[in-house]
Chain A
C-alpha cells in the first residue's frame, strides 16, 4: 500500500527583527482603548529615560496592513519617547496581519498574566517595600517596618504672594475673554511682581473697567 505523501511543513516566517525607526514615520493606533493618567505617564517618561536598554528589549510593535506603520503595542511608550525628545525608537514590524489579529495583539499586550510570589519578592534581593512601591509593584497590604525611617521635611514659612483662580465659563464667554486678553496691553507698573502674562492682562482689563466705572 502506497503511503500518502506527508504534508509539507508550513514555511517558517523569518523572525521579525528589532529595527530603530524615526518616530515621525509611525502612527498611533486610532481609537486606542488604553489610556495613561498624567502621573503614570510622567513615570513612564522617566523610566524610558533611565532604562534605555529595557526600552530596546520591549520594542514597539507595528503593523503595515493599512499601508502606514501603525503602533499596535507601545502607544504610550511612543508618546513618552516623543516627550523625552527621542527621534527614533526600537520597533518590530509584523507583516500580513488581519484586522482581527491586530485587535488581539492590542488587547493581549495590555493583559497582565502571572503573579508575584510575595515570599520571593519580599526577600532582600528584590529591595525594600519602599523601592518596590516606587516601581509601581502592587504590593499586598503587608509591609514590614524595615526600609522606612523617621525623617521628613515640610515646607515652612508663609505662602508665596501669588494665587491661582479658576472660573467656569460657557464656550462663548471663554472666547470673548480670550479675545480681550489677547488684545489688551499691560500698562507698566501694574504687575505687582507677577510675571504671568495672562494674569497681568486680566488685571489690566479689570483696571480699565474700574476706570470706566468712575
Chain B
C-alpha cells in the first residue's frame, strides 16, 4: 500500500469539501444534499475529499437492503483526489471513512455508490473496497446540453419547469450520453440482506461496460496489461 497508509482522514466542513470537489472532481459539480465530508490529508495537507449524503431517489433506493429505516443508509456521492495522492489512496480513504461511520454513526447499515461508466470508470475502487455490484444499466440520466454534461433530473427542478410552461422535460437539444451506470452496495451491517441479485464483476465485460479513467477498456484487458 506504500504511502497510502500515511493518509489521515478527518471530517471537514462542507464549504471546504465542496470547494475542493468543484476544483478536482471530473464533473466539477457537488451534490447538494451531502451531509458529511471527509478530507484526505497526506503530509499534513488536504489532497482528497469524499462526500456522503442521502440519495436523491431515496424511496426507490431504500428497499435494496432490508431491514433499513430512513436514516440508516448513505450514498457515497463524490470522491475527488488530486495527483499528489499515491496509488490505493481511494480504497484506503473509503476504508477509513467506513471505520469512522461505524464509530460515530453506528446506525448506518449500508452504503450505495454509482460508477459513471460514461465519463469516468466502471467502479474499480468500489470493487477494491469490498462493494458488490448490483446493477449495470445503459445510461439513462446523463446527457449533454450546449457542450455541458447535465443530468436529466436537472430539468425537473423549479426554474426549468417554470420556463417550460410547467413541463418537466429535457429540451430537444439534450443528448443522452453513450455509456453505462453501475450501482454498487456495501453492507456495513452484515446481518442486513441485499434484496436484488448480486452480479458477478464479469458482467461488466459481458455487457461492454468496462471503463477506466474515461477510456473504454475491459476488465480483462486491464488485467492482462497489469500482468504484462
Contact = CB atoms under 8 A, between A and B. Distances in A.
A151 B13 CA distance: 12
A141 B71 contact: no
Consensus secondary structure, chain B interface: mixed
Interface in B90-144: 100, 103-105, 107-108
Contacts of A159: 69-71
A123 interface: no
Interface in A95-140: 129-130, 133-134, 139
A184 B16 CA distance: 49
Q: How many residues of A sit at the interface, in one of the four size bands?
A: 20 to 34
Interface residues of B, number: 34
B190 to A, nearest CB: 19
Contacts of A151: 11, 104
Nearest to A173: B166
B11 A158 contact: no
Contacts, number: 85
Consensus secondary structure, chain A interface: loop
Residue from the set A148, A159, A168 with the largest chain B CB neighbour count within 10 Å? A148
Interface stretch (B37-45, B195-203, B205-213): B37-45
Nearest to A140: B19
Interface of B: 8-13, 15-16, 19-20, 23, 35-36, 39, 41, 44-46, 69-72, 74, 100, 103-105, 107-108, 158, 161-162, 166, 168
- 3 tightest Cβ-Cβ pairs between the two chains A and B: A159-B70, A148-B10, A145-B41
Interface of A: 129-130, 133-134, 139, 141-146, 148-159, 166, 168-170
Given A142-B45, A144-B46, A168-B162, 6 more contacts: A139-B19, A143-B16, A144-B41, A145-B41, A145-B46, A157-B70
25 contacts: A130-B13, A141-B20, A141-B23, A144-B44, A145-B10, A145-B44, A145-B46, A148-B12, A148-B39, A148-B41, A149-B11, A150-B9, A150-B103, A150-B104, A151-B11, A152-B105, A153-B105, A154-B35, A156-B72, A156-B107, A158-B70, A168-B161, A168-B162, A168-B166, A169-B166
